[in-house]
Chains A and B, each alone.
Chain A
Amino acid sequence: MAIITPLKTAAEQQLAEQFANIKAELPGAGAMRKLREDAFSGFEAKGLPHRRLESWRYTDLRTLLREAKPLVRRPARSQAIADRLALQTIAGRRFVTIDGLFSAADSDLNGLPAGGSVRSLAEALTEAPDAIAAAFAAPEVARDDSALMLNAAFAQDGVVLDIAPGTTFEQPLVLLALGSGQSEAAIVSRSLVRIGAGAKVTIVELQENVGPAPVQINHATCYVVGDGAEVQHVRMVTRQRAETVQVQSLLVELGGHAAFDSVAVAVNCGLLRQQSFLRYGGEHSRAALRGINLLRRREHSDVTLVMDHAAAHGESRELFKSIVDGEATGVFQGKVIVRPHSQKTDGGMKSHALLLNDGATMFNKPELEIFADDVVCGHGATVAQIDAEQLFYLMARGLPRPQAEALVLAAFVGEVADFVSDEGVHEIVGREIDAWLAQRDGAPRLGAA
């Protein structure tokens, strides 16, 4: 097929101007500067992702992003930010970025246990640009992703978290990314989490917006998981304005005998694209990506993931549950790649969606790409409405319809929430789900939670 290079959109032109204006000020010299330049020229060649690209088929950023907002250069300190920071929702150390910029003052840096070190990306880029640039190279399966290219070109700050080999953290480490929402702006940030061999840690990423202005967010977190390390990862995208356009990228490189368990929750997410690229670099590793999407009004959540089994004896599990109400759209595109010689791979991928309203839409595309024969891979996808029999059962026992519905829905997504092993984090996830269910039209609040 002929390669179609359409005219540049207004947003693409604005991005080109912005990059020309600020590239000299962005942190990181040497290899990092080159990485930014290459990433941006890659972006210029491709333009914003659009629906003719298979991996962006259901989220047409070229159409959706009418205007590229200016990059936030200085965070705004509003009362809302202060109020939110005063609230400690999860017991654990907290590292805060405001509008994508690391805030040392608000982060729990003092008395950090041995084995952990935290600093800002801007600082790390100034000190060791080459090493950070090496860690930022896009994995093979994401090399053509122009949203990720934009991120590499513009990312000005984020958190760099290093966990020394063999360290175990009892309490979760929380990466709290707050958007001030003071003005219509773009937030582009990237975090790097390196987990040494044999370390055990729970990392929670919270993405929240406290202000009234819709923002554009492009955030990526890179995880490098050492041999034998175990990571429990939770990401919650909540409290976003309806007009927010957000791309969240998760890049994971797994060593051998390592484990990476992730639960991603999207509630009141505006327009959200969550893309994950996970590569098995060593044998006998296992990874699980799971997620909950609660969507209503005209919200749009696109979960796209690629599990790249580049080593043998890998195990992967994906389970995504979506409840789509109003005129919202849910998307699940999962791809499991089993490379030649990655024998004994065990892959299982599932996406289940409940549509609550006739205007709701769900797109499922679970893919398998398999080049090794001694594997067990499967996927399942379902779309349906609430089971009438389950409702009948509950209503026959005296529950009014709204409560019965809420109970069925809570159980539906609860299956995923239960994979969050840290009790405190599990409670926060449960609270978000309950609050969302309680806000359904005519649905009373469930229980007293």
Chain B
Amino acid sequence: MTTSLVTTTPGRDTYDVVVIGAGPAGLAATAMAAGAGLSTLLVDENAGPGGQVWRAIASTPVKAPEQLGADYWAGADLVAEVQASGAEIVHRATVWSLDRQLEIGVSVGGMSSFIKARRVILATGALERPFPIPGWTLPGVMTAGAAQTMLKSSGLVPDGRTVIAGQGPLLWLLAAQILRLGGRIDRILDTTERRNYLAALPHVLDFVTSPYFAKGLAMMREVKARVPVTTGVSELAAAGEGQLASVSYVAGGRRETIPVDLLLLHQGVVPNVNLAMAAGIEHRWDDRQLCWSPLLDADGNTSVAGIAIAGDGAGIGGATVAVARGRIAARAAIEALAPAATAKLAAENVLRTALAQAERGRSFLDVLFRPAPQFRIPSGDTIVCRCEEVSAKDILDAVAIGATGPNQLKAYRRTGMGPCQGRLCGLTVTQLMAQARGKSPQDIGYYRLRAPVKPITLAELAAMPQTEADVKAVVRG
């Protein structure tokens, strides 16, 4: 087998397959595509492979295997497979543009270039769902994901008075990881609605026979043995003068306020749609996962010819699902570009069976951890758009005088026009406007997203390769 080339910048300007994102889906797709002999480029924003779930797997200072857990270290095999596959791998690479011609604008080390692909597999993963409660913009309030990033890449854990609030499997995983590394958690505020337990019942058989069940239960037991957990939490609010000082909530009919230095918020993850939407890929509102998901066929192909999506960007499924989807998308690319090479690959039905197995139990989690409306649709002075400091009331006022959707709202309040490009407010704006106008999120729509999906400097754009016309003009001139 060929050894992969980890380079600092793409070696050519055209590839058979370009995979964007080196998380579980991207790694699986890369290993298969390159392994089948296709010229394959894997570009990724981080310093090393792994994405978020296996972040820093090649470099983490947290070496004791039990601290990050078996699921984390499962990524090591796939990383090894990619490294032996012959793929070209570029880390610290930011893809800021992708279009229907399958041309990719990528920035590495402050220099941008364009590469062309015959097929693109987007594996850009998930983002944390916005959690807009009063005071969520105060210093001292962080997302659980940000805390987990620090934990995995630097071994840093909280040591001040820490509260974790929200719901979802990742919340319990993070809590367990913090505790194993000697970090401090004073309380967990579980915002799961009681009625969700009932709603999830029809899916419970599926769940108890899935691998999530035993692992999830063990993790929750581990955390609950060491940290007080308050359930049925509502009316969550952070407060402080310029800095987080306390968190208050209602549980069991009583309002409590506790002093705190760090509040970690988490209510699940949603597909990271920015690059896909900017490429013109059609999405629809997913009413169960309460987010936008791309329209895909069984191979992960999108509405834009030549672009497939695998991993959590295709709809939240977790790491095992992501690996299965990555392989299916890669197999489809190989079938399109080098059909002869498919003979040596796992059969299509084998890959699909693996996906179906990995997906088992997901519907239970989706229903159980469905965030309550009060944590998705804020009111009053609670900030929705952090970049432009627009509150829920501001948005409702704009609706009252004629703003009909997120794009129209820009004319009134500049929401979504700041540097985050809607990542922190988009879902909130859609759901808030849908509720205010009595329409479905699908009818209300989402921001029209455009490149660059990650900002680049003017100097970097100015230094890009010139057009043939420009070069000719200079020659003539």
Bind each other: no
Q: Which B positions have Cβ atoms within 8 angstroms of A? A: none
Residues on A lying within 8 angstroms of B by beta carbon are none
